Structure 1
Amino acid sequence: MSFNNRILAGFTLVFFLAVSMPICAWSQKNTPPTTQGSTSLGNLSADDLLLSKPETPEQLMRAIVQLTDLGQATSAKPYLDELIKADIDDETLLKLRDKYGPASFLTLANNKALQPESVTLLKKMEAAFRAYATDPARIDGLINDLSGNATKRTIAIIELKSAGAIVAPTILKRLSKSEDPTTNDELAFALSQLGAPVVQPLIAALRAPSENIRKIAAEVLGEIGDPAATLYLWNPAFSQSQPQSIQLAARQALAKILKKDPKNLFELNRHEAQMVLKNAALRFYKTYDDESGKQNIWTWDAAQQTVVEKELPAQEINLIEGLRLSKEALEMSPDKQDVQTLYLAMALALESYHVGWNHPLPEGPGTTFNLALLSGPSAVSRVLALAMKQGHTPSALAALKALGQIGSRALLYEQLDKHSSIIAALNYPDRRVQFAAATAIMQLDPAKPFPGATRVIAILTRALEGEGAQSAIVVDSSIPRGQSMAGVFHELGYETQPYQTGKAGFKAAIERMDIEFIALEYNISRWGLSQTIANLRADSRTANIPIIVYGPLRLKNKIEYSTRRYPLVSYVIESQNSTDIGTQVKPFLKNLKTPELTGELRSEYRAAALYWLSHIASSQRTNIYDLTPTEKPLLQLIPERALASNALITLGGIPTRSAQADLVKVITNKTMEADIKEIAALQLAFHIQKFGLLVDSTQVAEIRQAYQDAKDAKLNTALASVMGTLMPDNKVVGERLQKFQPATSLP
């Protein structure tokens, strides 16, 4: 038999069974045989055991195998070293593989006495066989043999099968170019005989532009019968965009795989198809993992007219597959809201993935972001709700940005899933989403109070300060234990306040609105655990705050089962040791976080926060937002020239004595730049006008002195406006009028 045909089914089966087993499963201790005959062998040298000294690669391999079989692996090691150093070519390696079988190479590789050289030899053999099996010229020759006699055809199929999925692109490319029905039948039959390895390439072929390729792919998948193909046959089977011939082929394939009677294809229907596709797309959407490794995916390449295999990050593959499936579900019923929501969410998620965490989505014609804008606020609000429910932060960020541009104030009061999605986003466990929600609400410019106004100020204030303090709530009916757990969380870096009842903890959560998580002891009272969790999840202000339930190990499975329907809930084993608690809590909280903000983004957030705070102060929205918490961080930002203006404008909108005193400090500061002091003076005049004179006589005297010392014309004028707001009496006015000297001399 020729060299090209020497790989028959038996050898192929042995090889793949062998290489599929872990090396560790075959490891040997290489202990010498215990029989008397074997014992005597230990006294013989390698030369004594062999008939002649090995020199050629074949002789060296025979010596290695023989000595190893005799329990003399140590004696075989020099010959193995010599074989590796010989750097034999692929053809020789394949001859050795044919003679000794792939199992021999694997046995040597698992012998610790021969490692690492034996592992190197196995890898070289595998690489040689892979190159031989996947050689394009060889594959082309085998495909040509499909048109030969029965023997040639059988051998060709066996050897094509040994090459695996790599042969599918070549066969499909020939099908793309062929118009001969006989040739197409031969190629399709060959594909059907190759089995599971070609299922994924054929699934990719279901999306080929050629109707003929799609039809053949569906038919062959039905013949192979692999359940993995089922999901991808629903759309070809029921989409109105597919020709009748393809619909019929796909339905028949589904019937074969699902073991349905082909005569009763009515058992398969469009509604079932859409539900399957939607649920599958949702699963891909849920499996968000930014740190996942890479995987392979088959796609149709229009330029090459066949399928190609690509290696991509697993997360990107999930998003690609989810987007495709959600689009296929949308084709079934384009007017269904839940499918519209899922498709738009998947599209935003994929676009967000491609641009990365710290970059905005592309805008303009044909972009996904513009598609979101065109879809309207109701659709985007549903996307936001879905993204938060599934913990998909990137698409939540994209939805919030779109809502800020197209939303209305009504979004702040809508009852979507029992709470407004944009209000719920203020407490989503990610700082990016919280800030995006706060700025989106500012863009909506509410004219009356709404749930979460306090939270908006807290988020913007935190942006001024950086990360800010991390806070938490503990609810425990036992005061000592609650205080102890609060201490444990404090050691982990959280300012924690204990409460005794579920109701008290809930009330604190909705009032404070600055907490990272809520910890609940499993046996809390007034409300119990279930009622407390249900109420926390039903309220927009707490719907997305992570909940940690702590208790004994014996209740872990029971409580996890009872809370499974609620998002962002985790159970930890109670302990007084902060290390034990931290080991359990940190992974849960870490999974809810996105990558740290870059320094550039932090600066952008701070500038944006200042802009919106100054907008509140200057647009008379202080009846909705209380700016008092921003006072201290604002004062620290005034020395930064680029931030000073908005910081001073915001300070001017805070109706407190201390805020007015802060403005006085700025205008009397001798090291401050004149233009900054000018803004401070104008804001001080505004503050006195609106809230009255709140500073004492000493500070008033400092204002007068600052006015007298001001040499800069604009600063002097701004300070004059402050002096005017001090309500001078008639005597002071008269003195000032008398001292005034007109710029133009009187004639």
Structure 2
Amino acid sequence: MSLNNRILALIALVFLCALSTPSSVWSQEPPPATTPETTTATGLTADDLLLSKPETPEQLMQAVVQLTDLGHAASAKAYLDQLLKGNPDDELILKLRDKYGPAAFLRLANNKKLQPESITLLKKMESAFRAYATDPSRINSLIDALSGTPTERDIAIIQLKSAGEIVAPPILKQLSQSQDPARNDELTFALTQLGDPVVPPLIAALRAPQEKIRKIAADVLGDLARPADALYLWNPAFSQSQPQNVQVAARMALAKILGKNPRKTYELNRHEAQLILKNAALNLYQKHETKSETQPIWVWDNAAQTVVKKELPAQEVNLVEGLRLAKEALEMSPDKQDVQTLYLAMALALEAYQVGWNQPLPEGPGTTFNLALLSGPSAVSRVLALAMKQGHTPSALAALKALGQIGSRTLLHEQLDKHSSLIAALNYPDRRVQFAAATAILQLDPAKPFPGANRVISILTRALRGEGTQAAIVVDSSIPRGQTMAGVFHELGYETTPVQTGMAGFKAATDRMDVEFIALEYNIARWGLSQTIANLRADSRTANIPIVIYGPLRLQNKIEYSTRYYPLVKYVVESENTDDIGSQLKPFLDGLKTPELTGELRSEYRAAALYWLSHIASSQRTNIYDLKQAEQPLLDLVSDRSLASNALITLGGIPTRTAQEDLVQVITTPTYEADVREIAALQLAFHIQKFGLMIDTMQISAVQKAYQAAKDPKLNTALASVMGTLMPDSKVVGERLQKFQPAGALP
């Protein structure tokens, strides 16, 4: 480089910036090592460009900014590294921020040649400024400055605005405590100047116990809120529990937000308010958040006398907000059944969520479960129907438990949406709900046959075996395509039955009691798609079985629109690839199910199922419930001493030859304990009395040998009762009488 060019470069650099003088002692390491890019394109080193070596933090930051702006970021990185190694505190970082502005930090962070050190510096700046901006003592001093001169007030508002939502709680707290109208006006005016960040805290303030706070919140929201925020003003505007001045303020705010004439608030009405609140609550009830991330929620804290921000799981936030909105809708018209149903469903869902899947709902005064009991069977049955329609399993479980305690047999024949909600629950796509429905029905003790009685036994039988199989039905008029789709579903773990018509699919679904979903090809015949779906939803046995429609992508929007009013319907794009179908199907089905049953719960279900089966057998209800399908699982449980008694009692109530043979097998197997064989003998005697002798001569002979070999007195006596039921003839009776020796000596 020529001498003239060197002189011009130095003069340009002097005009760009001036070096700072050291302002404090800076503990630093030796000068940075030479980097690969020590010479710039102009032939000058970094030291040449800077004129002197930077030593203080201010000088190091200035060097980084200058070199980066001149296009020599590689040379600047060594000084940035030196700056960070000095571990600058928050005060120094904020000083640098004031001098260079936040944009400079962001520009450095985006320069790849300075990363990752430049990103670290940006995060340190953000953290320092966040701590400074949210410092309570600073915020309180700014709030105090609102009472100063107009200039002091304007400066305070600007600085409060930069702090964001965090300033709302202390301002609202001062409003809660202040009795000075002038001071209240200052604080209220400040809130109106703070913009969008304070809207969520003000919405929470609408639920404050103080009338003054609710009115101020409504007034300010009228200036700040957007149309989506109007939802939270409907209750203050029209609830009879709100004082007149709050209602007026809320209506005025609604008019401003919705773009209506504030002088015509009469155009807003209570009916509209309730409908909007109900639909909003229902929308939150329908949401099923499966992610573990938390969401912020603002609430009024009575102890703190202001609003506080909490972080809760997304699903809990939905339930909390939905319950509040449902309650506000209920305040508008407490006697409307649909709003009552929604509120009770939301309350049960929230309490069930808070205690967890595997825990029973709290009971006793003040609990939601007791509220459900007090609401009566009709109200709870409506909750059950709503819960199943919206796929909300926790509240369905709670409703079923309540119905088992307060319901009546008439629930099995009621018509809610063209089917009994209790019977529909037997086919809900969750095994917890199915089992709860079966036990609830058994608690009602039906006196005559009803639709779904066989389904009850199917559910109890499955509980004896554990999880059981997952079945699916495929309806497709094309045999090859139907078989292909059946194969795809089979690879996903479903035992699949293909049929060719909608009518055949309906029959298959009502015949099988373990159907997880029904897959319908979009162009099925006899019945067509719409008629098949309508019939499946109208029948209590299939009303809650999920329906999967498959077809081409081009028809997805059309079919989804035409089926939008039917619950538990999903469209999947047709594919022969198992992964493609699985990625569409599994989220839908998994969203309808609760977590897998634990081993402990499966054991509880098995014991409960066995109890109810034995209750049916011993209470002469076999004219309603057919126990034949439970026979084999019952025999398998006899080896478990804790389950053997109920298993044998149930076998004694099944009117089949194989049931008698099962009892004989237990009696004649010496490995069983004497008390188990005794129960089997008593049940065999009872079975022969009730249903007649069904075993053959070989089995009779085996029972006789068991009787002769029995040394245990109770077992011997039980076997004697079996021998007596065999109707011995006079010759056999005579022989037995002659062989008998009285226990005591004859006189």
Structure 2 Cα separation of the partners of residues 690 and 114 of structure 1: 91
Shift of 1:69: 1.6
Q: 1:238 is matched by which residue type in structure 2?
A: F
Segment drifting more, 483-492 vs 516-525: 483-492
Match of 1:21 in 2: none
Match of 1:127 in 2: 127
**After the TM superposition, which residues 126-165 of structure 1 pair with which residues of structure 2 at under 5 Å, given as runs?**
126-165=126-165
Structure 2 Cα separation of the partners of residues 331 and 533 of structure 1: 37
Shift of 1:484: 2.5
Q: Report the CA distance shift for 1:622/1:42 in structure 2 as closer, same or farther (over 3 A).
A: farther
Segment drifting more, 402-411 vs 81-90: 81-90
Shift of 1:383: 0.3
| 8 A contact 2:39–2:45 mirrored in 1 | no
Shift of 1:42: 6.3
Segment drifting more, 335-344 vs 653-662: 653-662
Structure 2 Cα separation of the partners of residues 739 and 557 of structure 1: 87
* 3-state SS, counterpart of residue 417 of structure 2: helix
Structure 2 residue 171 is the aligned partner of structure 1 residue 171: yes
- Percentage of matched positions with identical amino acids: 79
| 8 A contact 1:199–1:226 mirrored in 2 | no
| 8 A contact 2:192–2:220 mirrored in 1 | yes
**After the TM superposition, which residues 316-715 of structure 1 pair with which residues of structure 2 at under 5 Å, given as runs?**
316-715=316-715
Segment drifting more, 441-450 vs 67-76: 67-76
Structure 2 Cα separation of the partners of residues 238 and 448 of structure 1: 50
* 3-state SS, counterpart of residue 290 of structure 1: coil
Match of 2:287 in 1: 287
Q: Report the CA distance shift for 1:42/1:699 in structure 2 as closer, same or farther (over 3 A).
A: farther
Structure 1 Cα separation of the partners of residues 677 and 42 of structure 2: 97
Shift of 1:454: 1.3
* 3-state SS, counterpart of residue 312 of structure 1: strand
| 8 A contact 2:469–2:514 mirrored in 1 | no
| 8 A contact 1:455–1:514 mirrored in 2 | no
Cα deviation code 1:592-641 (max 9, x no counterpart): 21111111111111111111111111111111111111111111111111
Shift of 1:292: 4.4
Structure 2 Cα separation of the partners of residues 65 and 50 of structure 1: 11
**After the TM superposition, which residues 247-262 of structure 1 pair with which residues of structure 2 at under 5 Å, given as runs?**
247-262=247-262
Cα deviation code 1:102-138 (max 9, x no counterpart): 1111111122222222111111100111111111111
Structure 2 Cα separation of the partners of residues 577 and 138 of structure 1: 62
Q: 1:420 is matched by which residue type in structure 2?
A: S
Segment drifting more, 330-339 vs 555-564: 555-564
* Structure 1 residues not aligned, in runs of 5+: 1-31, 33-37
Structure 1 Cα separation of the partners of residues 583 and 149 of structure 2: 67
Count of matched residue positions in the alignment of Structure 1 and Structure 2: 711
Q: 1:327 is matched by which residue type in structure 2?
A: K
Q: Report the CA distance shift for 1:609/1:744 in structure 2 as closer, same or farther (over 3 A).
A: same
* 3-state SS, counterpart of residue 213 of structure 1: helix
Q: Report the CA distance shift for 1:287/1:740 in structure 2 as closer, same or farther (over 3 A).
A: same
Cα deviation code 1:53-97 (max 9, x no counterpart): 111111111111112122222221111111111111111111111
* 3-state SS, counterpart of residue 566 of structure 1: coil
Structure 2 Cα separation of the partners of residues 212 and 554 of structure 1: 57
Structure 2 residue 104 is the aligned partner of structure 1 residue 116: no
* 3-state SS, counterpart of residue 311 of structure 1: strand
Shift of 1:435: 0.8
Shift of 1:670: 0.9
Shift of 1:661: 0.6
Shift of 1:40: 5.6
Cα deviation code 1:565-611 (max 9, x no counterpart): 21111122223333332232222212221111111111111111111
Shift of 1:248: 1.1
Structure 2 Cα separation of the partners of residues 411 and 463 of structure 1: 24
Structure 2 Cα separation of the partners of residues 674 and 45 of structure 1: 100
Structure 1 Cα separation of the partners of residues 542 and 200 of structure 2: 44
Cα deviation code 1:352-394 (max 9, x no counterpart): 0000111110011110000000000000000001101111110
Match of 2:727 in 1: 727
Shift of 1:39: 10
Match of 1:242 in 2: 242
Structure 2 Cα separation of the partners of residues 287 and 582 of structure 1: 22
| 8 A contact 2:391–2:592 mirrored in 1 | yes
Structure 2 residue 708 is the aligned partner of structure 1 residue 741: no
Structure 2 Cα separation of the partners of residues 42 and 707 of structure 1: 114
Structure 2 Cα separation of the partners of residues 469 and 319 of structure 1: 33
Structure 2 Cα separation of the partners of residues 446 and 166 of structure 1: 60
| 8 A contact 2:222–2:253 mirrored in 1 | yes
Q: 1:108 is matched by which residue type in structure 2?
A: L
| 8 A contact 1:235–1:273 mirrored in 2 | yes
Structure 2 residue 311 is the aligned partner of structure 1 residue 311: yes
Structure 2 Cα separation of the partners of residues 213 and 508 of structure 1: 62
Q: 2:130 is matched by which residue type in structure 1?
A: R
| 8 A contact 2:199–2:225 mirrored in 1 | no
* 3-state SS, counterpart of residue 426 of structure 2: helix
Segment drifting more, 418-427 vs 482-491: 482-491
Q: 1:444 is matched by which residue type in structure 2?
A: L
Q: 1:266 is matched by which residue type in structure 2?
A: Y
Structure 2 Cα separation of the partners of residues 113 and 723 of structure 1: 97
TM-score with structure 1 setting the length: 0.93
**After the TM superposition, which residues 17-166 of structure 1 pair with which residues of structure 2 at under 5 Å, given as runs?**
41=41, 43-166=43-166
* 3-state SS, counterpart of residue 440 of structure 2: helix
| 8 A contact 1:225–1:256 mirrored in 2 | no
Structure 2 Cα separation of the partners of residues 491 and 269 of structure 1: 56
Match of 1:218 in 2: 218
Structure 2 Cα separation of the partners of residues 585 and 215 of structure 1: 49
Match of 1:182 in 2: 182
Shift of 1:740: 1.4
Shift of 1:298: 0.8
Q: 1:270 is matched by which residue type in structure 2?
A: R
Q: 1:151 is matched by which residue type in structure 2?
A: T
Shift of 1:270: 1.0
| 8 A contact 2:663–2:681 mirrored in 1 | yes
Shift of 1:410: 0.5
Match of 1:263 in 2: 263
* Structure 2 residues not aligned, in runs of 5+: 1-36
* 3-state SS, counterpart of residue 622 of structure 2: coil
| 8 A contact 2:522–2:550 mirrored in 1 | yes
Q: 2:487 is matched by which residue type in structure 1?
A: G
| 8 A contact 2:233–2:250 mirrored in 1 | yes
* 3-state SS, counterpart of residue 496 of structure 2: strand
Match of 1:193 in 2: 193
Cα deviation code 1:252-280 (max 9, x no counterpart): 11111112222211111111111111111
Give the 4+ runs in structure 1 shifted more than 3 A: none
Structure 2 Cα separation of the partners of residues 603 and 460 of structure 1: 12
Shift of 1:343: 0.4
Cα deviation code 1:477-520 (max 9, x no counterpart): 12222223222222222111111111111111112232111111
Structure 2 Cα separation of the partners of residues 328 and 460 of structure 1: 41
Q: 1:359 is matched by which residue type in structure 2?
A: Q
* 3-state SS, counterpart of residue 297 of structure 1: strand
Segment drifting more, 224-233 vs 684-693: 224-233
Q: Report the CA distance shift for 1:707/1:223 in structure 2 as closer, same or farther (over 3 A).
A: same
Q: 1:383 is matched by which residue type in structure 2?
A: V
* 3-state SS, counterpart of residue 101 of structure 2: helix
* 3-state SS, counterpart of residue 194 of structure 1: coil
